Amino acid sequence: MLPLRFIREHEALVRERLATRGDEIPLDELLSLDSQRRRLLTKVEGLRAARKQVSRGIGSASGAEREALIARTRQLTSELGDQEPELDRIQQEVDRLLLEIPMLPHASAPAGDADHPGLVHYCSGTPSPDSRTPPHDEIARNLGILDFARASKVAGSGFWIFRGAGAQLQRALLQWMLDFQVQEHGYREMYLPALVAASAMANAAKLPKFADDSYAVDNGRQWLSPTAEVALSEYHAGETLDAAMLPARYVAYAAAFRREAGAAGVETRGLRRVRQFDKIELFNVTAPEDSYSALERMRSEAEAVIRRLGLTYRVREVPTGDLGFAAAKQYDLEVWSPGAGEWLEVSSVSNCEAFQTRRAGVRMRRPGSARTEYAHSLNGTALGLPRTFVALLENGIQEDGSVAIPPVLQPYMSGRARIETEPQWP
């Protein structure tokens, strides 16, 4: 989160940067309550100091003077009894509002609202819609590798079941992408819980902002993880890391759960928007001065996956009005879907600076220094499924209806070079 003192002392800068996000942000309410809190805190501290001073005199006083001091102590205690609960109430409200203030966009992030196209940082090709390419769900249905109807019986709308070569391709993608990041880029692999604590959700800046988009269990004490970022950002919570050991670089597979499928105005056909999906998450903890070079490195690591899969893609610098809540700067990586004739986001790489680490209390100490400071955290998807699956089907479709498998995945597919129509089972 943003420090309250920073907001107060740099109000003009905060207003200017947050205005580019375009959201309704309760900054006025926060600053007004903070002013009330400080005035009331001064009053309460004065009452506490006065009561302490009066109480010291009771032991050495006698007679009428003692009685007067006792009466004064009771009066001050009564006044504190009125003021302290109000101070606690205002403090809780200030703390709540602080959780609703997003990260300041970095000065280099392109300014614009959510409909702004952003800045295309790189594009590997200039594709155009191809009316001859069927959509992915038609391809998968013809191959017999995807079942929505039975999935709806099992779990309801917004879920899917891969079968046969479809399940194998999904598994191959996940295994290869993990291996690639560990072997090529030196990441440490992690396996994470599917449930995360409410405190972890708040520290990762998913609560309260995205409560309606997530699945709560156990009366809100735990949540189905909406992204591996939550567990990874909480992994070092409350720790002080040795700066000489940074960056810490983790990669994890995790299933993600979100309610967004079926929302009004959202494209829900096939695998485009589902309530459960798999992805490979990259997460870095760095020293502050290294976080923006780490952002560029993580972007290139995600790009490398797309290139190895042979997909046409572009890298978009996300405009301030579309930044993630915790992100100061963000890249979206999008692959071309010839069946839909549009770009599909398969990766988002963000520098959150100290926004999450301040919430989680992740600090670092430099060699030879007694002082600690907040580390920076970055997250990125490399890559998200099933949109990558969508692009592989639509870009790999052959004239006979089979789908070519990228060479890097073939060793994970028992050497198969194509997915052909599955035998019909009951």
Catalytically active residues are: 258, 273, 345, 348, 387
Check: CB of residue 14 under 8 Å from CB of residue 26: no
d(CA 143, CA 332): 31
d(CA 218, CA 403): 43
CB under 8 Å, gap of 24 or more: what pairs does 193-199 form? 193/225, 193/231, 194/224, 194/225, 194/254, 194/255, 194/257, 195/222, 195/223, 195/224, 195/225, 196/222, 196/223, 196/225, 196/230, 196/231, 196/234, 197/221, 197/222, 197/223, 197/234, 198/222, 198/223, 199/234
Of the candidates 314, 305, 313, 292, the residue with the CA atom closest to the CA atom of residue 182: 305
Structure tokens at 230: 């939550």
d(CA 67, CA 363): 52
d(CA 345, CA 390): 11
